[in-house]
Amino acid sequence: MEVSRIRALRGPNLWSKNTAIEAIVSCGDAECSIDNLPEFEARLRARLPQTGLLRPEGHQGAVSIAHVLQIVALTMQAHAGCPVTFGRTASTIEPGVFQVVVEYSEEEVGKLAMELAQDLVRAALDDTPFDIADALKRLRELDEDVRLGPSTGSIVNAATARNIPYRRLTQGSMVQFGWGSKQRRIQAAETDLTSAISESIAQDKDLTKMLLDAAGVPVPMGRSVTSAEEAWEAAQELGGPVVVKPRDGSQGRGVAVNIETRERVIQAFEVAEEISSEVIVERYIPGHDFRLLVVGGALVAASRRDPPQVTGDGQQTIRQLVDQVNADPLRGDGHATSLTKIRFDDIALATLKKQGFDADSVPPAGTLIFLRNNANLSTGGSATDVTDEVHPEMAARAVSAARMIGLDICGVDVVAESVHYPLEEQHGGVVEVNAAPGLRMHLNPSFGKGRAVGEAIIANMFADGEDGRIPVVAVAGTNGKTTTVRLTAHLLGVAGNRVGMTNSDGVYVDNLRIDTGDCSGPRSARSVLMHPDVDAAVFETARGGILREGLAFDRCNVAIVTNIGMGDHLGLGYISTVEDLAV
């Protein structure tokens, strides 16, 4: 078996509407039917027990090694957590040469799956070892690295449900929704409406408090300090327990709460100072930690966040109890999973010491042990949905906080005994306002039902009935494509549209040529769909681009096929007859 070419079909293609990896596979005479390899299937199943049927139901002909490669690549992706199902193996006009097509959800994962599938099939052919556990681990880890996180993924899923096209612009979480002049962009839970000034204000906790206080939103008293001694002076001025946190920080890093002694205040200052040159000391508000999510001037979700904790069983050490909690598959090291693993660091050990324990203590059965005082999910906390319980006046204060900072999507952190009463009645307050808030706690809370926050964000970006699409005309065929594209673009331009056009001599936007050469492929079409000055698009869609990479769009309003005839359009990509070309 030899694989001579692997390429990614990044849009609807000859085989499927799904993205797919296409490989050209050559088989030796014996390999064209696994019936000629009597021990092969047993060896394959010994290495990949999850392998399904090799012979499709009702299939009477020979099953080639190429078809086995397709099944193995699909099976490995599926068992690594990738939701893919489509695969196909087609023979070509060349004896023993096949086109193997396997769906992918992430291109890098699909390519690695094809590479590992080759290694596994060769191992079964040669009867050599293959570490399937390591292969699946590599696929799973790569998928976690490159796929969108839960927050961005929920927004993309909401857009897909509304038939809004999307394109990932980076390996990170920047995504474009819609096309041309109708497009919008996000990065994680920030949109193109989120201003840099508002984000900067939210990062400055002192400035945030000043603005919220001016808006009548209850906030804890406190001030910024620049030295450990000044931190202790501020704590004495406030009288009673305090919170020490970095002025510019995120995800709860460097935050110490409910501390009173000089030793602990100085220690907390030193930790916070590593994150920010300025540190805030403010009055500690007793109560629970709540996150209120405001989108477009409305409260859409609320969660009570609890610190990372374990419950003693009288037998295991605290370290063992934490390992047991971290074994939950819902907990991961980053933000790709619903929950984050509990960390055993200096802050956790200090929190244990305050409760009279250390990592190797065996707490009595039923004893609740806290590993941190703050309740951020990124440090191992958990969340309980309380959306339906929030008092209208508390919701109004959260909306006021978001408006005062200027954030269209805003995570408002509140400390209070309960969400059932206004903040003023229970001496609660807003302790922080967050740009690009994490959505995990609202999508998949530890307790309670998930909230449709992705749908709320998309609804704030696109009005009812809008799908972010512009009119698209695609022109294919053997002859006359360029002329037809130019005429169609002219008609759309006369109708008042700024037209993006691709053809065999360049890319044009509103009659200005922005690229030269043969631009009749999907890359040029994608460039036009990204351009913010395009109200309508006309694409020359040559068969070479379709075969090489698939289409740049999922659908078009008008599809024109000028003609299909003999000539120089045959022979590419195993398209050797007019009938093949028509397909």
pLDDT at 524: 97
For tokens 């619903």, the residue is 338
Is the CB of residue 245 less than 8 Å from the CB of residue 254? yes
Residue 356, burial from CB neighbour count under 10 angstroms (0-12, 13-18, 19+)? exposed
Structure tokens at 496: 């008042």
What is the residue type of 81? Answer: G
Question: Which residue in 210, 193, 215 sits closest to 436, CA to CA?
Answer: 193
Length of the chain: 583
Is the CB of residue 381 less than 8 Å from the CB of residue 391? no
E-assigned strand segments in 256-361: 256-259, 279-283, 288-295, 298-306, 309-311, 331-332, 339-340
Residue 59, burial from CB neighbour count under 10 angstroms (0-12, 13-18, 19+)? exposed
Query: What DSSP string describes 373-420?
Result: SS--GGGT-EEEE-GGG--HHHHHHHHHHHHHHT-SEEEEEEEES-SS
How many angstroms separate the Cα of 346 from the Cα of each of 236, 279, 349, 361? 25, 19, 5, 16
Phi first, then psi, for residue 511 (nearest 5°) are 70, 5
Is the CB of residue 111 less than 8 Å from the CB of residue 100? no
Is the CB of residue 439 less than 8 Å from the CB of residue 189? yes
Is the CB of residue 255 less than 8 Å from the CB of residue 261? no
Q: Tell me, letter by letter, the H, E, C secondary structure of 130-162.
A: CCHHHHHHHHHHHHHHHCCCHHHHHHHHHHHHC
Is the CB of residue 407 less than 8 Å from the CB of residue 433? yes
Predicted confidence (pLDDT) per residue in 62-79, tens digit: 899 999 999 999 999 999
* Residues in the chain with pLDDT values less than 70: 56-60, 249-252, 334-338, 373, 375, 566-568
d(CA 570, CA 26): 22
Phi first, then psi, for residue 324 (nearest 5°) are -65, -45
Is the CB of residue 336 less than 8 Å from the CB of residue 147? yes
Q: Tell me, letter by letter, the H, E, C secondary structure of 79-130.
A: HCCCCCCCEEEEECCCCCEEEEEEECCCHHHHHHHHHHHHHHHHHHHHCCCC
d(CA 13, CA 107): 15
Is the CB of residue 212 less than 8 Å from the CB of residue 401? yes
pLDDT at 508: 98
pLDDT at 205: 85
pLDDT at 256: 85
Give the residue ranges of DSSP H helices in 162-261. Answer: 196-203, 205-214, 228-238
Phi first, then psi, for residue 492 (nearest 5°) are -65, -35
First to last CA, the chain: 29
How many angstroms separate the Cα of 166 from the Cα of each of 82, 102, 314? 19, 22, 52
- What strands, in cross-sheet order, belong to the sheet with 536-540? 512-516, 506-509, 499-503, 536-540, 472-476, 558-561
Question: Which residue in 245, 285, 307 sits closest to 429, CA to CA?
Answer: 285
Pairing of strands 472-476, 536-540: parallel
Give the global pTM: 0.86
